[in-house]
């Protein structure tokens, strides 16, 4: 089955057992499952307490995500996307990854939303991960549909205990209007805003505005791609409390950052 084949699936918010699990056998037929996951911590800036981990797909020899995804045919990307979430949960459970588990959702659209959420929830139950620990990351809000469909993503995820995150904020993909409609639990500042921010008045002004907007909406803002102490210090002074990046920890295969601060239950 191809990605286009999802249009023949039930659009009901209660998909059948066969629909929910259709992705697993299809995956084995169409792609080589030669990949694993590295987990990069998300930390509290002040204490460096690890609050969660983002699951990042890697080749079995450490190849980056782009190399792994390039080997997947365009028609199979949705199924690969779903299998990645399932496998990431399995690996996280096996490695005892602490805190929230952030899962990327690159090919979710209104037509496959119900299947995505239901199958992911079922698999989280199967591997013993509390759904309240699962954060679904969406990097392109435009593909989630019109305002009502966009808001529905938040509602349906929350019904099963998941939280949602707007990724790449500030990279041009996410408009403030969509953010206000989506009402995510988290948003991630894009690295393009973070790099050398301590010396860029223009980007500083943008980030101050984003911080104020997220504060008024009740959205917890995460600075991603933080690589330098100067970036961390400026962001902390601007009011950010959560961060992710090489300054704190590289993606790892054992669920531990470069240093080993205390872990909390969830972000």
State which residues form the domain around 112.
Answer: 33-244
100 occurs within a structural domain: yes
Average of per-residue pLDDT across 144-167? 96
Q: Which H, E and C letters describe the chain, residue by residue?
A: CCHHHHHHCCCCCCCCHHHHCCHHHHHHHHCCCCEEEEEEEEEECCCCCEEEEEEEEEECCCCCHHHHHHCCCHHHHHHHHHHHHHHHHHHHHHHCCCCEEEEECCCCCHHHHHHHHHHHHHHHHHHCCCHHHEEEEECCHHHHCCHHHHHHHHHHHHHCCCEEEEEEECCCCCCHHHHHHHCCCEEEECHHHHCCHHHCHHHHHHHHHHHHHHHHHCCEEEEECCCCHHHHHHHHHCCCCEEECCCCCCCECCCCCCCCCCECCCC
User: Which pTM value belongs to this model?
Assistant: 0.84
265 occurs within a structural domain: no
- List, for residues 36-66, the tens digit of each pLDDT value: 899 999 999 999 999 999 999 998 888 888 8
83 occurs within a structural domain: yes
261 occurs within a structural domain: no
138 occurs within a structural domain: yes
21 occurs within a structural domain: no
Average of per-residue pLDDT across 138-151? 92
Task: Look at the chain and report how many structural domains it folds into.
Answer: 1
219 occurs within a structural domain: yes
- What's 208's domain CATH number? 3.20.20.450
250 occurs within a structural domain: no
| pLDDT band of 12, cuts 50, 70, 90 | very low
């Amino acid at each position: 089955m191809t990605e286009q084949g999802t249009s023949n699936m039930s659009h009901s918010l209660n998909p059948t057992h066969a629909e929910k699990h259709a992705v697993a056998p299809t995956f084995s037929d169409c792609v080589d499952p030669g990949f694993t996951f590295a987990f990069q911590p998300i930390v509290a800036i002040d204490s460096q307490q690890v609050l969660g981990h983002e699951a990042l797909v890697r080749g079995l020899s450490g190849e980056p995500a782009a190399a792994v995804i390039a080997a997947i045919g365009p028609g199979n990307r949705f199924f690969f996307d779903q299998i990645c979430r399932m496998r990431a949960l399995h690996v996280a459970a096996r490695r005892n990854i602490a805190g929230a588990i952030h899962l990327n959702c690159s090919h979710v659209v209104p037509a496959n939303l119900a299947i995505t959420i239901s199958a992911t929830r079922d698999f989280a139950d199967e591997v013993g991960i509390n759904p309240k620990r699962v954060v679904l990351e969406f990097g392109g809000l435009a593909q989630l549909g019109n305002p009502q469909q966009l808001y529905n993503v938040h509602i349906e995820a929350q019904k099963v205990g998941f939280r949602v995150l707007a990724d790449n904020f500030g990279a041009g993909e996410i408009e403030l209007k969509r953010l206000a409609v989506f009402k995510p639990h988290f948003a991630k500042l894009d690295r393009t805003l973070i790099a050398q921010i301590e010396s860029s008045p223009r980007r500083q002004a943008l980030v101050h505005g984003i911080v104020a907007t997220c504060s008024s909406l009740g959205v917890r803002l995460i600075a991603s791609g933080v690589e330098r102490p100067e970036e961390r210090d400026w962001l902390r002074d601007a009011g950010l409390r959560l961060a992710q990046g090489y300054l704190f920890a590289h993606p790892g295969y054992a669920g531990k950052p470069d240093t080993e601060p205390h872990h909390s239950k969830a972000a």
